[in-house]
């Protein structure tokens, strides 16, 4: 088992609810994070994303100007910003399968339903730090591999069809955030 050195990671928290931002900031600080930047809407989040180049983005779905889904889509535009591969953790009070699939299809890395818990947030962060999924680039999608399994034997209705997909392996943030020993 290893521990994450949170003080080596930069976080961007985007939520229009100041109370929720404070909860997330408090949790991240309790994990050991030092650099936690906050935005109150999608436009400010995109600006801060470009300025601070965070290692992990935590965003609410429902925000003014543009929402977390639109933020994820803008971040995932190859060539549009410094790091289209950044892990994105989506928070929302709506966890219906349809919404989870919409977030997945927008390039969200992890999904966390509200009310959040410290354990749930930590597990999502641990997952994106220690087990980065490869990125897939096709004509219609760029983002983390939507499949979590490693086998290619899937033949169900959501099997990728059409042109070739470029698979881009991602280095783990673990090397940046690993605690020695």
Q: What is the pLDDT of residues 156-172, one digit of tens each?
A: 655 555 556 777 666 66
Q: Which residues pair with 110 in a beta bridge?
A: 89
* pLDDT tier at 63, thresholds 50, 70, 90: very high
82 C-beta neighbours (distance < 10 Å), count: 12
Q: Model-level pTM? A: 0.85
Residue the block writes with tokens 């961007």: 12
Please tell me the distance from the alpha carbon of residue 161 to that of residue 20, in angstroms, as a whole number.
40
In this predicted model, what pLDDT tens digit does every residue of 1-40 receive, in sequence order? 567 889 999 999 999 999 999 999 999 999 999 999 999 9
In this predicted model, what pLDDT tens digit does every residue of 18-28 receive, in sequence order? 999 999 999 99
User: Across the chain, how many H-helices and E-strands are there?
Assistant: 6, 8
Residue 142 has phi, psi (to 5 degrees) of -140, 120
* Domains observed in the chain: 6-177 (3.40.50.2300)
- Poorest-pLDDT segment among 103-107, 120-124, 138-142: 138-142
DSSP 89-107: EEEES---HHHHHHHHHTT
Question: Under a CB-based contact definition with an 8 Å cutoff, are residues 48 and 39 in contact?
Answer: yes
């Amino acid at each position: 088992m290893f521990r994450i050195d949170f003080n080596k990671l930069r976080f961007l928290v985007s939520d229009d609810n100041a109370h929720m931002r404070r909860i997330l900031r408090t949790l991240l600080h309790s994990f050991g994070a030092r650099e936690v930047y906050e935005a109150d809407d999608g436009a400010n989040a995109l600006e801060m994303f470009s300025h601070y180049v965070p290692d992990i983005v935590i965003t609410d779905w429902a925000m003014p100007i543009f929402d977390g889904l639109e933020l994820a889509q803008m971040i995932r535009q190859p060539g549009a910003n410094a790091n289209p591969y950044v892990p994105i953790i989506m928070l929302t009070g709506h966890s219906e399968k349809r919404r989870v699939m919409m977030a997945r299809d927008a390039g969200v890395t992890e999904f966390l339903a509200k009310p959040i818990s410290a354990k749930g947030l930590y597990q999502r962060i641990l997952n994106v730090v220690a087990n980065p999924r490869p990125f897939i680039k096709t004509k219609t999608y760029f983002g983390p591999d939507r499949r979590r399994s490693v086998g290619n034997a899937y033949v169900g209705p959501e099997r990728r069809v059409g042109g070739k997909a470029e698979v881009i392996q991602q280095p783990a943030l673990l090397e940046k955030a690993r605690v020695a020993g």
